[in-house]
Structure 1
């Protein structure tokens, strides 16, 4: 997120919410941060609805997300895209990985993984039950990518150098789910890789999703974007504000107040007088005063109410 990383003309960022509910205060932080970083570099900012998990999607959520972005002045530089429209590309990537011997059939359930997997930053690590063939009596449920001693190293623009052995932190991970749909790591890696998206600004809770996604990109010959993982918004008990935890949706009737509070939480210190300014005035101030370095090294921001 420095001025020396990427020429402005080549910068392309994105905000990629899942349509599992309306935007809330935590997701607004990601949208604001990614938008301001793109504008700071005179780059492009896109919106992609990551609708690859139909069982978890909420009817009308995609429309609600787009309305919230619009009233908050978060206008993308192209039409909103939908990840589900790229499913053929995702499946082709899975087929290519399989033809090269990187994948194996797995017959394990989530319950099996909880019972036998050791803890990891993305959840229990796969214990390798089906790595060398399905055990007797088991049928294939998912496809996993075989992770050996691959190491990953990248410089996160907010969290600093990230160095890891994937076998120790991620393990063999799913690329095709039991319902036949592409898994999150595979879809995100394909859609963010290859140079179209040059910068990904997202929450710290996704930091350890980056090494497996970068591994997929390397195996497929795709370039990887620059990553920046901003602190996530948590409640006073330390739990991330999320749709799954029932976080309150944004009040679209108060976009300026929402933006002011988001900027305050992002440590940008907006003047109190701007709290009741127009959305356009707030954005004008934010673009000229954006200081992402104030977020370096932070993993979480505690939600303390309205900021009054």
Structure 2
């Protein structure tokens, strides 16, 4: 029991640092502009360091508590991000945001608890590979439309700019980050829970790193074009949703259809809460 409590505390710390890292990067996003200041550089690099500390803390947390508990804790990232955005970025916080974000967190916790008895046996590599590249492909597909989206944004036409430059990058970044959690678990199943140099011979390590790199690029695009409170529910919602959805295929549930239907209902509820936040911040 003591190990589980330590694992839970490590998980909370990991996702608080992740949220703080992304908020600091958003505040220092001016590092990419011609008018960059020294403070932008310090904030952005500080955020980068915190973001990259997260996987290491998560690795130890996963050794002490189950992946389902850590997935549930990751829902707190949404809450941390919104509160930190209001404090650090001075972004507007609507009363409905609190309701929707708490709803998302509760649904994610419910999903995690419902999947706590799923098996954790090594699945077929081909299936894991497909889920690893799906969000990457979706992100790459929107890149040719970036210039058109920028032009339409300048002209104030339609919602395509937000869809291309904020919504899709946030969703794909979150999905890739979610797969990284699955990849970490697959790496432990493949090479054991004690870190060793044999990890470097595992394809799952490189799928983890590839998703991390592309996720990082995608979220920078979103930060440059949208508000943190709009981005966070999409990014962190899919960080939890994607691994839960693909886990239904990688680690099938014992009761099959009935449990899958319950998960689908909870997932649909999360999308409704997410849309409630996005609709408030899309203007």
TM-score of Structure 1 vs Structure 2, range by shorter chain: under 0.3
Structure with more helix by fraction:
2
Q: TM-score, normalised by structure 2?
A: 0.26
Higher relative contact order (CA 8 A, sep 6+): 2
Q: TM-score, normalised by structure 1?
A: 0.24
**Rg (Cα) greater in structure:** 1
